[in-house]
Structure 1
């Protein structure tokens, strides 16, 4: 069942940390005042809350900035059931909202609607957490000693995620910030040098509400992941008498027997429990290596060395690791958030370094950019709201690996619009403006008809007449949109589903020249090798995988020009294949049909 959609917090705190006996304590000096006026400025509220609670003002400011970007969001809860910039939660895993209301003697509704009260409520919870953690039941004496309190306040499912939360907050303290809230009031936190005492978190345990079939242990590949690894006796298709679909993956010894060349990014189209229900069913016929929840918690279901049935193309299954991200492709802006992006990027960075996977969108791919191996459709996730520029930058920061260096050509472009560089909403969330599919037209104007689309024209996830960001294309000509949109239209070769609505219909795609509409400033110089396709018959067959005998899924006329991001030597042979960016998806052509070219100066 789909969760209620609402604003998501920047860090999306997770499960409430276990405290042996939570005792609510009042502020020093007796009972707290019942209310702080809604006219109280945010800066005054921070000062009052710090004085009343004993919590350092820098902790309060950093927490309010990290969780809510200084906003109360009109009293709306986050996806995790948290309220206000202090993210006071009320869900099945904890209730710091009620805890704060009791400490302040106020109605919980006031904590939801009034920023000043919300800040005081967060301070009260932090104070209670700190006293409970202290052997002497006193507040930490140094700023860095509040680390353990913040780990507990995170309400994280796993200890590693809780540590990530506290690390992120102290990074804000050390860097400082100056930012306005929704009313325009500016809050400033000067950078502060602090020695973090991580020993204060060593005895804090994560919550015990681990999903069924999972546990927290050290038997995982990715450090800190929740262990949901499937029992090979029930799920492995390799040993006889396992018969698909009564098994869901194949055991292997990658990369010894099969190279790992890709990380495939998915979304689940369901909740965490819904996803686990599917992947923990031995009759589902599908599997995945990892799931990343909206709060940043990572669940591991298969060992990296084994290959999952996850991408609808057996060859790509053999050579990839799959990551499911909780969310829905059509409404990704309501789901994808900064905490999830960061956790997913850290996981991908680990895989990039482990398997020396090139850091680019040719190898860190969408399910929606993987071709079908035959005459069938494939999935389209994670959809138009997955921010590839933002995500790949996070992967680079976390991995330390350089972006892949490739040859350049003045006629190769890739799209990196501003809408793809960061979430545009509050709290690290996206907005509908983060939509990043770009459409093709039959002529050099957006007043021309769009090229044929396979599915429903109202389906924003349909990928058959558009492209996504960070994929390179070769253009033969360009023109400013005469319709006055400000877009530039680029003429490119693109594989169209033009036969799908013919009689008889066919899913074989055909390459045609089409015009890609690109917003101002979105096109940058791309990378890759421009290649010309050739075949004695005049029609070049296109394949969905680099294997001799593979099904022809598409065609292109001789002399059509595409961008190839990389090559691959067919498993067990010396046959060289070229990947090409055929349309929204990758495709494959044998080297015998390829002529690498320098820039073809056709058009402008």
Structure 2
């Protein structure tokens, strides 16, 4: 299994060939009603549990990142493992400091089926209880819902409680359904389910089904039922988490090996020494158990938090004041917090549970409030939007969480839904396709050049002209020879992602052009199904008299800022140019900074801060930096 820190989607062969065709609208609602009646489970409990797992989507019979199938997320990781194609992308130095030896993560093997915990084998139990075959439970939404209801009913019986019609009596069974092995996580999961029951939900699923759960605001369960399940008590230790999530302290080691080598992170004193400006979202190619083993290996790399897919459980590994080695860019590492989201069976149309999305969003909101981090895509970064540090590192940078992470839903959970903020002639657009309906073709999930299974995506593809037949724009950093970008699932050279903002270069019918990597890039943006919303905000362009300005992957100080004993770090431009007449959306203005931490002994660690200032910009799929002295700010 690829490193939990380098985090590239592990892509499998796609949905089962026998997955059902979408039934008539309303059928899924009836399936929930029938299963609830058969097993004596309150219908709103069954609906709410399913919502927290899958948002009622069927995913065409394809497994989630942890081998869960169908609306009830019945886990059959053995089958998913057998179908999984293991590959990784990039050879990134996770530490990203070229003044030190590279810190590369190693590959890890896929786990044996016998090693899988019970929470990844719930489909077996559902088959025993329901009498339905494993194949039916994987591929038939109706059967899957029956299996989930059978599991809930069994959990209620095993707790010694009757199959009551009152949803409030089912808190313990819901907590058990989470698969959590500790009381706090099981309680948090059940609290989320009952929050859905109280507030209600309604949505159209990926199979075109309209499913509704009427609000029941007066439901007040006995949350103490979770304490009777016999689960362990997780060690909160030194965790720094909001009270609305379950958090456990599993520390990463800080150890010296001799010959100047040490791991697996750097001690620091943030935010006193440096501001924390970024939160980096990763996904992992390791199971939960393997993830924890990796981050506790002193010879490995590190990150601040890991999040478990099945129930949203969070483990914290580093104090927030310390610097993890996770993003492949030392400037970003020194000023960021890394969040790793579990996923080791990621299929071409992989999906993440609502439970994990929700706890991740709560954690991000907490961190953003604590460190005054704006909730936007220039501060809440995907690993795939962190820039290479130099020209030589661009091709090795990783591409997770990739085009299947639902940024629009994530930002709704963050309380910052992506909405228009300007009229039709705005000079800025925010990328926002309709995730489920927007299904661009990606290739290379299993074999190079072979199409991935169709699936919703939050990314749009960029062309050299206003036509699907026009070539994709080039990324000379990824392909110095000037070759076109591709439709590869890991090729970010011609891709713009939900929430990213770009300056408009031209509009022509159903097509919009933006400035991207120093060129005009077109994407399909029809009025009847737009893939972007209009926005306003500051943009920058080269100052008068400059035909072009260099672009950087890090904002390092000028040479004069370095004191004696601290080696000067090269201010190395990337191979791109920002040309006169082009405009790019502005993020932070930041002084040039370098955190000098080359040895285990922290006595000599220090932050070098210069007079040279930089602007962060949305330059391509990845962010970049330009010197403030080279540009002027405009308001669009």
2:341 maps to which of 325, 333, 345:
325
Q: Which runs of 5+ in 1 are unaligned?
A: 9-39, 209-214, 236-240, 425-429, 481-486, 496-510, 600-604
1:261 aligns with 2:286: no
Q: Do the aligned residues in 1 keep the contact of 2:495 with 2:621 (CA within 8 Å)? A: yes
Aligned pairs (5 A) from 1:47-446: 47-50=37-40, 55-63=41-49, 67=53, 92-93=117-118, 106=131, 112=137, 125-130=151-156, 132-134=158-160, 143-176=167-200, 190-192=214-216, 193-206=218-231, 216-222=235-241, 224-233=246-255, 243-244=260-261, 246-284=262-300, 286-295=301-310, 296-327=312-343, 331=347, 333-375=349-391, 376-377=393-394, 378-396=397-415, 410-419=426-435, 432-446=454-468
1:35 corresponding residue in structure 2: none
1:525 corresponding residue in structure 2: 534
- In structure 1, distance between residues paired with 2:582 and 2:206: 52
Per-residue deviation, 1:526: 2.7
SS in 2 for 1:171: helix
SS in 2 for 1:333: coil
SS in 2 for 1:160: helix
Structure with the bigger RCO (C-alpha within 8 Å, sep 6+) is 2
Aligned pairs (5 A) from 1:37-56: 43-50=33-40, 55-56=41-42
SS in 2 for 1:173: helix
2:634 maps to which of 575, 597, 600:
597
- In structure 1, distance between residues paired with 2:273 and 2:170: 48
Per-residue deviation, 1:361: 0.7
- In structure 2, distance between residues paired with 1:72 and 1:523: 26
Question: Max radius of gyration: which structure?
Answer: 1
TM-score of the superposed pair, with normalisation by structure 2: 0.69
Bigger mean CA offset, 345-354 vs 355-364: 345-354
How much is the aligned-residue C-alpha RMSD, in angstroms? 4.3
Per-residue deviation, 1:360: 0.7
1:547 aligns with 2:556: yes
Q: Which runs of 5+ in 2 are unaligned?
A: 2-9, 17-29, 77-115, 441-451, 480-484, 559-570, 594-608
Q: Do the aligned residues in 2 keep the contact of 1:415 with 1:522 (CA within 8 Å)? A: yes
Per-residue deviation, 1:403: 10
Q: Do the aligned residues in 2 keep the contact of 1:5 with 1:334 (CA within 8 Å)? A: no
- In structure 2, distance between residues paired with 1:403 and 1:338: 22
Aligned residues: 518
Per-residue deviation, 1:551: 0.8
1:448 aligns with 2:470: yes
From the superposition, tell whether residues 116 and 256 of structure 1 become closer, same or farther in structure 2 (CA, over 3 Å): closer
1:588 corresponding residue in structure 2: 625
- In structure 2, distance between residues paired with 1:463 and 1:128: 46
2:489 maps to which of 457, 460, 463:
460
Bigger mean CA offset, 254-263 vs 149-158: 149-158
Per-residue deviation, 1:537: 6.0
Q: Do the aligned residues in 2 keep the contact of 1:130 with 1:140 (CA within 8 Å)? A: no
Per-residue deviation, 1:586: 1.5
Q: Do the aligned residues in 2 keep the contact of 1:84 with 1:111 (CA within 8 Å)? A: no
- In structure 2, distance between residues paired with 1:337 and 1:158: 19
TM-score of the superposed pair, with normalisation by structure 1: 0.72
